[in-house]
A and B are shown apart, each in its own frame.
Chain A
């Protein structure tokens, strides 16, 4: 695996009323495993189904029902771990986290506290070309999602939808290595990108496939480095956890608010209390949910219905061998093989589908040209129209055809844009369209000579100007292009214009 060189940025510094402060952020990301069925039952995980239609006897915690581990979900978590360059624990175990809530039918969530499936890994968070943050991942464990309580359908009653109950989640726990709200967003974006490459999580934040609990604390400059050197958390400030956010915007706003709240509190002589908080997007603020003292006692203990999860190294190796090229490697390869900028490589490799599309376009062609067309024409247009790459009206083969016609000199860049519009609106084969609609560019010097002659003859004043100032020659080129409907080869026109005007090239 080849990574691009990068340097880590300085942390975000916030100026309080009296002092400067740095942010320290850790994240627990809950990523829904891309799987047809739940972690411990065969019920479907389809989003948006009728309430309580994706519920098995196990999910509803009927008496005597028992969980059975879904091997595919374990495989997906292992894939994710490998994608984050993490240690895979061949021995792991499920524990019960006990608490009462109507959308938790068993009265406990099956999770992995003591022996998680995946150990330490890392995520390289891209911030700008050449700038990145290496965020350490502490662990990834598998756990069950809860159902949904609905309190606003009836003034007196609450309703429960168990469709989500038991859906497999990967909880990805980072170390407190994130240093600004923007980095927090970029961290989630990078996790999302990697998991989408791996196919282990669809990353759909709106549907709740990706949610984050964010831990925020503030410290004086230098304190964080002392923590990193010593591993001693006492160098850091008291942290607050903001629970369950599923929007990048809210995450950033919540961190920003929470950091400023803590700074103001400390500077006013107060103390940050370790607690769980909720972000209220309507008011743009966080508020206390429960303090450390009020924290529930989850009475964790090993789930006696499940044997320890023991997996074979050979199985892990086989999964490792099946991993696709991941975003960092792909980006580095794009830079290396296609000579494109890191920025362009980043854009093109952002999504696994767009990267594949680009690769199909670039195969056997000029990589820079393919990148230019991919980013500026296709992605720009898709963005404007709000389309995903999968819904692009222009296929990779069609776009490649356009590039081929340009490379062979059959059409100019300008015509190519027109051709792209035709392909976008009507479809068809690029070469056939060019032939059928007479779009082939004019390289016939006779025809160009005639056109140049006409323009020069009609504009004596401009000719004088051009002879005094050769830059004006470009005006003649533009006129000729206009007169030929853009079909003239611009280089050829330029040469004839300069010769006719007697300007040295």
Chain B
């Protein structure tokens, strides 16, 4: 197989590969081999932290058998990458943290079990920010994943975003057809926008959290990262569903999302939230946003200005609630039962073991958030921070409810305040600068809504920009249909030039 053929095969979308395999023109084994080769060749991107070729070949062979037997669900034979946050049985699952060094779970997360149960082929584990805390993939113990995109005429390494940076880079680079991501404050949508791919954060409770290393339980949600909207619909269908092992998972039927793409846009009312017009927002972003609104109008939607008055409190509330939950969720990493344990000197006891294990095992950003979280929950501060943040959270949710109740079907916003920035650019900056990346995305997590980031154009430096569509609770189907319309209008076909 020539390198071109290989890249072409690996570069197929999920729907195209599925149809080719069902038609007999392509075998799961061929497709998997092509992806494995692309993944290996993509080593300079540092997207893959642990390839599992043996598992992939075995699963590809089984997918081929299923196809031969006429039992081929939509994801059958589709090679995918798994964010390191998902526990995969017998395969290192470290949440890109030193504290989980050597951890191989004896169990499989519900979402990956569903995907693999439907025949998806696991190629390996993908890089991410440590415990999903970060917006640039730079907090990973494995070092940052690198964005396959470069600014025109430049060779500087750019971030693929975070926390699902490895997933975004791997999909954009054509080393897998889709990848799982998780989104707590924008961790699917921001990297998708930075890498020119589609990223969908479903409604909270749509995908089971069982077996996914928890960051902030009330905000975390898994979702698909793919090259186009149709693929996101197909992959979401395999990931979603009720799981009795997750009490926050919704017992609702999973619609046929691919069929929902037919729904169209005509007559839909799209809200443009005034409060998302941030001061200092690059002109290009504003222009793209306006263009997006125009595309939807042209497709038959009604575009209206709406107000989400509590938007400006979302980021501070998020950076109280998410660290609070994280400080508690990460308490289990104590060196007692699994993962890293510090070496003790004679005479040292449990307190030294805890302190040193966690000091050695957690990176600076994780430590910062754990301390922040412990602080906002501490006696005397709980009411001022955590409780108030919860009130803000309810107000933000109410903002959306009010707009939806007024007949708005979905909201259109930019996905990120900028295109991908350079690795190391934020190293000297105040951490809050990095947190500002989440300004358009966190409201959605606080309100538990579904939202999708769709690549919509390139900026002046040739870097992808995304638009975000926010849907009604459980309305992933109509949301995908809207996203499909934006995608069609945007005609975003650009791919990163292969430099790796």
Chain A contacts to B: CB under 8 angstroms: 57, 60-69, 96, 98, 100, 102, 105-108, 158, 160, 297, 299-301, 304-307
**B103 at the binding interface (Cβ < 8 Å):** yes
CA distance A473 to B8 in the complex (A): 122
- Candidates A64, A100, A301; contact of B87 at CB < 8 Å: A64
A68, A106, A304 — most chain B CB neighbours (10 Å) = A304
B338 touches A62 (CB 8 A): yes
For the complex formed, measure the closest distance between the CB of B243 and the CB atoms of chain A, giving whole angstroms: 9
Q: Is the interface of A mostly helix, strand, loop or mixed?
A: loop
29 A-B contacts, Cβ less than 8 Å apart?
A: A57-B107, A60-B337, A62-B87, A63-B93, A63-B95, A64-B87, A64-B105, A64-B213, A66-B209, A66-B245, A68-B244, A68-B247, A69-B247, A96-B328, A100-B331, A100-B334, A102-B334, A102-B350, A105-B336, A160-B336, A297-B378, A299-B327, A299-B374, A299-B379, A300-B377, A301-B386, A305-B217, A305-B247, A307-B248
Q: Is the CB of B87 within 8 A of A304?
A: no
Q: Please provide the chain B residues from 422 to 476 with a CB less than 8 Å away from any CB of chain A in the complex.
A: none
> How far is B197's CA from A280's CA once the two chains are assembled, in angstroms?
66
Does B291 sit within 8 A of A, measured CB to CB?
no
Shortest beta-carbon distance from A104 to chain B in Å: 9
CB of A356, distance to nearest CB on chain B (Å): 38
Residues of B within 8 A of A96 (CB): 328
Establish whether residues A105 and B332, one from each chain, have CB atoms under 8 Å apart when the complex forms.
Answer: yes
Q: From the candidates B106, B107, B245, B328, name the one contacting A299 in the complex (CB within 8 A).
A: B328
| Inter-subunit contact B247/A307 (CB<8 Å) | yes
Cα A100 to Cα B330 in complex, Å, equals 11
Cα separation A489 to B325 with both chains bound (whole Å): 82
Which B residues, 226 to 264, have Cβ-Cβ distances below 8 Å to chain A?
Answer: 244-248
B216 within 8 A of A: yes
Apart from A107-B331, A299-B374, A299-B382: 8 A-B pairs, beta carbons within 8 A:
A62-B87, A63-B105, A67-B247, A68-B247, A100-B354, A160-B336, A301-B324, A306-B248
A158 near B245 with CB under 8 A, answer: no
Complex alpha-carbon distance, A307 and B248, angstroms: 6
Q: Is B194 an interface residue (CB 8 A)?
A: no
When the two chains form their complex, are residues B377 and A98 in contact, meaning their CB atoms are under 8 A apart? yes
Contact between B213 and A102 (Cβ–Cβ < 8 Å)? no
Which residues of B line the A interface, CB within 8 A? Answer: 86-87, 93, 95, 100, 103, 105-107, 109, 209-214, 216-218, 244-248, 324-325, 327-328, 330-332, 334, 336-338, 350, 354, 374, 377-379, 382, 386
Closest Cβ of chain A: how far from B2's Cβ, in Å?
Answer: 41
In whole angstroms, what is the CA distance A23 to B165 when docked? 64
Residues of B within 8 A of A299 (CB): 327-328, 374, 377-379, 382
How far is A299 from B248 in the complex, measured between Cα atoms in Å?
22
Whether A68 and B332, one on each chain, are in contact in the complex, defined by CB atoms closer than 8 angstroms, is: no
Alpha-carbon separation in the docked complex, A60 to B337 (Å): 8
B397 CB to closest chain A CB, in angstroms?
Answer: 15
Point out which of B213, B328, B338, B374 has the most chain A C-beta atoms below 10 A from its C-beta: B328
Complex interface: chain A residues within 8 A of B109 (CB): 64
| Chain A residues, CB < 8 A from B107 | 57, 62
Contacts of B86 in A (CB 8 A): 64
- Inter-chain CA distance A240–B218, complex, in Å, is 38
Taking the closest CB of chain A, its distance from the CB of B63, in whole angstroms, is 26
Q: How close is A483's CB to chain B, nearest CB, in angstroms?
A: 79
CA distance A487 to B213 in the complex (A): 82
A68's closest neighbor in chain B, by CB?
Answer: B247
Tell me the smallest distance from the CB of B256 to a CB of chain A, in Å. Answer: 28
A108 x B87 contact (CB < 8 A):
no
Is A68's CB under 8 angstroms from B245's CB?
yes
Please report the C-alpha to C-alpha distance between residue A62 and residue B212 in the assembled complex, in whole angstroms: 10
Instruction: Judge whether B332 and A297 touch: CB under 8 Å.
Output: no
Q: What's the least CB distance linking A28 to chain B, in Å?
A: 20
B250 to chain A, nearest CB (A): 11
A297 touches B331 (CB 8 A): no
Question: Closest residue of chain B to A106, judged by CB?
Answer: B332
- CB neighbours (8 Å) of B93 from chain A are 63
A297 to B378 alpha-carbon distance, docked (Å): 6
The smallest C-beta distance from A140 to any residue of chain B, in angstroms, reads 22
The complex places the Cα of A306 from the Cα of B248 at a distance, in Å, of 7
The answer on a CB contact under 8 Å between B247 and A306 is: yes
The interface residues of chain A lying within 8 Å CB-to-CB of B214 are 63-64, 305
Tell me, rounded to whole Å, the shortest Cβ–Cβ distance linking A218 to chain B.
28
Provide the residues of chain B in CB contact with A68, threshold 8 Å: 244-247
Closest residue to A98 on the B side, CB-wise? Answer: B328
| Partner pick for A301 among B248, B334, B337, B382, CB 8 A cutoff | B382
Cβ-defined contact, B338 with A301, below 8 A = no
B residues in contact with A304, CB < 8 Å: 216-218, 248, 325
- Nearest-CB residue, chain A, relative to B249: A66
CB distance from A115 to the nearest CB of B (A): 14
- Compute how far the CA of A44 lies from the CA of B450 in the bound complex, rounded to whole angstroms: 39
The distance in angstroms between the C-alpha atoms of A66 and B332, with both chains bound, is 13
With a cutoff of 8 Å between Cβ atoms, the chain A residues found around residue B377 in the complex are 98, 299-301
Chain A: minimal CB distance from B231 (Å): 26
* Contact, CB under 8 Å: A106 / B331: yes
Residues of chain B within 8 A (CB-CB) of A105 are 332, 336-337
Of B93, B330, B336, which is in contact with the most chain A CB atoms at under 10 Å from its CB?
B336
Determine whether the beta carbon of B379 is less than 8 Å from that of A297. yes
The answer to whether B328 and A108 have CB atoms under 8 Å apart is: yes
| Given A66-B246, A307-B247: A102 and B105 interface contact (C-beta under 8 Å) | no
A62 contacts B325, CB within 8 Å? Answer: no
A328 vs B107: C-alpha distance when bound (angstroms): 51
Bound Cα distance A108, B325 (Å): 12
Return A158 CB to nearest CB of chain B, in Å: 7
| Contacting pair A65 B210 (CB below 8 A) | yes
Chain B residues within 8 Å of A100, by CB: 331, 334, 354
Q: Which residues of A contact B106 (CB under 8 A)?
A: 57
Q: How far, in Å, is B98 (CB) from chain A's closest CB?
A: 14
Q: Which chain B residues border A160 with CB–CB below 8 Å?
A: 336
The smallest C-beta distance from A162 to any residue of chain B, in angstroms, reads 9
- The reply to whether B332 and A61 form a contact with Cβ atoms under 8 Å apart is yes
Contacts of A102 in B (CB 8 A): 334, 336, 350
Residues of B within 8 A of A64 (CB): 86-87, 105, 109, 209-214
The docked-state distance in angstroms from the alpha carbon of A105 to that of B332 is 6
Which residue of B is nearest A305, CB measured? B217
Residues of chain A within 8 A of B374, CB atoms compared: 299
Contacts of A108 in B (CB 8 A): 328, 331
CB distance from A504 to the nearest CB of B (A): 86
Bound CA–CA A301/B324 (angstroms):
9
A106 to B336, CA, bound (A): 11
Q: Which residues of A contact B338 (CB under 8 A)?
A: 62-63
A38 to B109, CA, bound (A): 22
Q: Are A63 and B209 in contact (CB under 8 A)?
A: no
Nearest chain A residue, comparing its CB with the CB of B248: A307
Quote the shortest CB–CB distance from B92 to chain A (angstroms): 12
A82 to B209 CA separation, bound complex (whole angstroms)? 36
| A105→B95 CA distance, assembly (Å) | 19
Least CB distance from A148 to B in Å reads: 13
Give CA–CA (A245, B325) in the complex, Å.
33
Point out which of B332, B378, B379 has the most chain A C-beta atoms below 10 A from its C-beta.
B332
Contact of B328 with A66 in the complex, beta carbons under 8 Å: no
Identify the 9 closest CB pairs spanning chains A and B, nearest first.
A107-B331, A299-B377, A304-B217, A304-B218, A61-B332, A64-B211, A63-B213, A64-B87, A297-B379
Q: Kindly state the separation between the CA atoms of A299 and B373 in the bound complex, as whole angstroms.
A: 10
A63 in contact with B332 given A297-B378, A297-B379, A301-B386 (CB within 8 Å)? yes
Enumerate chain A residues within 8 angstroms of B331, measured Cβ to Cβ: 98, 100, 106-108
Complex Cα gap A356–B334 (Å): 51
